[in-house]
Amino acid sequence: MSKEQDKTKILVTGASGQLGQCIQKIEENYPSLKMHFTDSQALNITKKREIEHFFVDKSFDFVINCAAYTNVEQAEKESEKAFLVNAEGVKNLAEVCKEQNSTLIHVSTDYVFDGKKQSPYTEEDIPNAINEYGKSKLKGEQYIQNICRKYFIIRTSWLYSEFGNNFLKTILKKAEEGEELTITISETGTPTNANDLAKFIIEVILTNTYRYGIYHYSNLGEATWYDFASKILSVLGKLESVILKKTDNYSTFAPRPEYSILDMVKTKQTFFVSPIKWGSSLSKFLKKQLLSKLN
């Protein structure tokens, strides 16, 4: 058997999104893995026939689903679109993974919870999404649990990276333009570096465990969106030059959980990982970005 055939074969959907690009960035660090990256143009998960056709002459040990409708605000107005990708598309993937005996790794969200709890949410807590985005992601989770035996659902929170659209990039843009920033303190969660999540997903594959199910992964600690913005500006030395105000009355179209910290005891015990504090990860990330710009 050739070395190429020995490799673990992985399909990554939604590869043009921020998490998909973070996984692409680290692919070369894992020579035992052979990854096949697709975006919605190459593989539309809302069409089951397309997925089946894609698998005709290919076999994958794992499918990492990064494809998602992620615009929380817009999902309130376009719930059909959100459910089409986040629920029906996921159902299609789950069915094909079952038929092909592939393990499905699906990325979900802290927004499946209502935020009424005041201690970190465990995997055993009963979800109760309060916005259309969260409801669509929850429906996707339920499809996987009903269809697949071999799956890992990974819930994460408040993702940022150098790719795509995210809170960090919005803050940086507004700070550059000298805009006054008014940021909410009414929601508490954990900012999570998508690069850290990408590495964790690879660890799930390399651990070679059969302890399938739902897991939580984020960076450690808690923050409000104001804390997140403040830390971004502080690390970049812009805290003095940008007007940053806090509000507890920031209105959004989509209702959002007030508290959505994820408990990671099960994740640490199963995968022997040690997530780092959100502030440390953010500082390292921003300093690395600054260095890359200078070089």
Are residues 156 and 111 in contact, defined by beta-carbon separation less than 8 angstroms? no
54 within some domain: yes
Domains of the chain: total: 1
The whole-number mean pLDDT for each consecutive block of 10 residues of the chain, a chain of 295 residues, reads 76 96 96 95 95 91 97 96 98 97 98 97 98 98 97 98 94 89 95 98 94 98 97 91 86 90 97 96 92 58
pTM of the model: 0.95
3-state DSSP call for residue 147?
Answer: helix
93 within some domain: yes
Domain CATH code at residue 212? 3.40.50.720
pLDDT number for residue 295:
38
236 within some domain: no
pLDDT number for residue 250:
67
pLDDT number for residue 71:
94
Q: Which residues are catalytic?
A: 133
Instruction: Report the alpha-carbon distance of residue 210 to residue 208 in Å, rounded.
Output: 7
Cα dihedral across residues 236, 238, 244, 250: positive or negative: negative
253 within some domain: no
108 within some domain: yes
- Find the domain containing 267 and state its range: 3-166+192-222+261-276
184 within some domain: no
246 within some domain: no
> What's the number of CA atoms in the CB half-sphere (13 Å) around residue 52?
7
> What's the number of CA atoms in the CB half-sphere (13 Å) around residue 122?
5
| R_g (Cα) of the chain, nearest Å | 19
78 within some domain: yes
